[in-house]
Structure 1
Amino acid sequence: MRSFLACLLPLLAIGNVYASALTLQSPRFTISASDATQLRSEPLSTTKKPSALTLGAKDVLKVTFQVVEEEGKGVQPHQTFLRFYDEVSGEEGIQPVRVTAGGKAKFELNMAKPPASLPPTTASDPLKVELIIGSFVHSPLKMDLFDLFLPASQPAPQHPDEPSFHVRSEIHHTFQPDPKLPPKFISAVFAALVLAPWVVLLGLWGFISPSVPHLLSPSILPFIATLGAFEGLLFWYWVDLKLGQVLLYGAILSIPTLIAGNQALSTMGKWRAGRK
């Protein structure tokens, strides 16, 4: 039984430390004008809020207090901050408060340079100001300090790119209908027109005397083959190639065509000279 009590007493002592509460000593607020003239100064009570505070565009609000234990010894809590809450809009802002090792704290709100943590304000609705203190070894403390009227905040300047982030109307794409193929008869007619020069060439070649250099002779065939390659290039362009590719390939193909044509003309010239 004694061993059980010996183990239980330290646990009870630890629970007592965590349960010990924090209090405020000498809490006070002071409102001063820009020329340091004191406009209002009153102590703060944990049971009754003062009448609402009002700050001008250049007034300064100071809140001072000391955080103490129940025995009156000053302590430095782990977290201390003021909460500015607008009950109408639901907006809130948190401002940390620096506390010394002895528990003394001082908060200053200069309306000439208000902190960015303040929520947007209107001249008609006050902000509810609360003090919140948190500690690992003490019970948390939350105190409703006062209601605070501030000058109406100015709207934030609009960024030049701000309209780009608004929701825009949905984009509907209109696609053109698929191109229709011409009738097969029309396609056949134009295909015949494309092949007609070859038909005429082969037909005329048949009426030439057999003594004329043959179409498949080594001196004539390369030129005929390059002409056929040009026809194939045009067909490839119709099926798949782009204009720039056709011009490039055509420029490359023109070199062997020029050489083969020159050779074919030389052969024909020699044949004519021999007939004479």
Structure 2
Amino acid sequence: MYSLRPLFWLLLAVAAVQASVLSLQSPRFTILSSSAEQLRSEPLSVTQKPAPLTLGASDALKLTFQVLDKDEGKGVQPHQTFLRFYDEISGEEGIQPVRVTSGGKAKFELNMARPPASIPPTSAGIPLKVELIIGSFVHSPLKVELFELFLPESHPAPQHPDEASFHPLPPIHHTFRPEQKLPPRIISAVSAVLVLAPWVVLVGLWGHIRPSVPYLLSPSILPFIVTLGAFETLLVWYWVDLKLGQVLLYGGILSVFAALAGRQALATKGDLRVGRK
């Protein structure tokens, strides 16, 4: 199926090229004091900016202009019109909408006695760049740099009671314990001998007594031998992975079965076949 998307974009591009151009007629600014005394009043030029404007703490700035369709020479009402106050040092900006009548006439007033909250914070000696931006669906957009504006220095923002909670805290420095030191080899060897000594004694007694295998595997003796092997396995497991609390818990449970199995083994009557030399 033939796609209409390329044709749509082509028609959109043609419409953009043929869109009417907007222009400003009779742009003018006026600076008034708190007593309505006119301090400065000049027309504005689209191609050349005037000398920077300066407003006092109680002065007011009035801006008037008319938006025209350049081709037809008639006033039009664009869809969006606003002033952009931009601080090149801090990068902050503020947007103020401008109302435009159906005939294209616009009037804007900035009273420093009640400045809008959207004006960015100002520093002493640093001007704001003021731009006029106009957008329309049927006209090409218009952007004009009007003038530079010096405003009174902003007061510091009031401190919030919880402001200190959001300040960065000093970094936390962890002090790690030194690495574990291994004991001398002689101490490790002596400890190993002490641990293995009971097994040496047990093997020696086992060879002297020589109990019969059927007797050791009898139902009354085998559980006790299994519990003893379980104790040894628990100690090895503790050395490898378990913690002391787990060993005490498992050992306490295992000791109950070992005591019962040992009592049963001692109560069993049987004969040991003792070998003779």
Q: Which TM-score applies when normalising by structure 2?
A: 0.66
Indicate how the Cα distance of structure 1 residues 209 and 179 shifts in structure 2: closer, same or farther if over 3 A, else same.
closer
How much does 1:257 deviate?
0.8
Alignment partner of 1:42 is 2:41: yes
**C-alpha separation between the residues in 1 aligned to 2:54 and 2:20?**
34
For structure 2, the 5+ residue unaligned runs are 1-14, 272-277
Indicate how the Cα distance of structure 1 residues 198 and 147 shifts in structure 2: closer, same or farther if over 3 A, else same.
closer
Indicate how the Cα distance of structure 1 residues 91 and 55 shifts in structure 2: closer, same or farther if over 3 A, else same.
farther
How much does 1:263 deviate?
1.3
Contact 1:49 1:144 (8 Å CA) reproduced: no
Alignment partner of 1:120 is 2:121: yes
2:23 maps to amino acid: L
Contact 1:22 1:69 (8 Å CA) reproduced: yes
1:23-62 aligned at under 5 Å gives the runs: 23-25=24-26, 27-31=28-32, 33=34, 37-40=35-38, 42=41, 44-46=43-45, 49=50, 52-56=53-57, 58-62=58-62
1:153-192 aligned at under 5 Å gives the runs: 153-155=154-156, 160-163=165-168, 180=182, 183=185, 187-192=188-193
Indicate how the Cα distance of structure 1 residues 233 and 91 shifts in structure 2: closer, same or farther if over 3 A, else same.
closer
For structure 1, the 5+ residue unaligned runs are 1-13, 272-276
Identity, in percent, stands at 58
1:1-276 aligned at under 5 Å gives the runs: 18=19, 20-25=21-26, 27-31=28-32, 33=34, 37-40=35-38, 42=41, 44-46=43-45, 49=50, 52-56=53-57, 58-70=58-70, 72-86=73-87, 89=89, 91=91, 93-95=93-95, 96-111=97-112, 114-135=115-136, 137-138=138-139, 140-155=141-156, 160-163=165-168, 180=182, 183=185, 187-201=188-202, 203-204=204-205, 218-267=219-268
**C-alpha separation between the residues in 1 aligned to 2:209 and 2:29?**
124
Give the secondary structure class of the aligned counterpart of 2:32.
Answer: strand
**C-alpha separation between the residues in 2 aligned to 1:137 and 1:255?**
93
* Cα RMSD (Å): 4.2
**C-alpha separation between the residues in 2 aligned to 1:48 and 1:196?**
102
Greater shift, 173-182 or 91-100, is seen at 173-182
Give the secondary structure class of the aligned counterpart of 1:147.
Answer: strand
Give the secondary structure class of the aligned counterpart of 2:108.
Answer: strand
* Equivalences, count: 246
How much does 1:182 deviate?
5.5
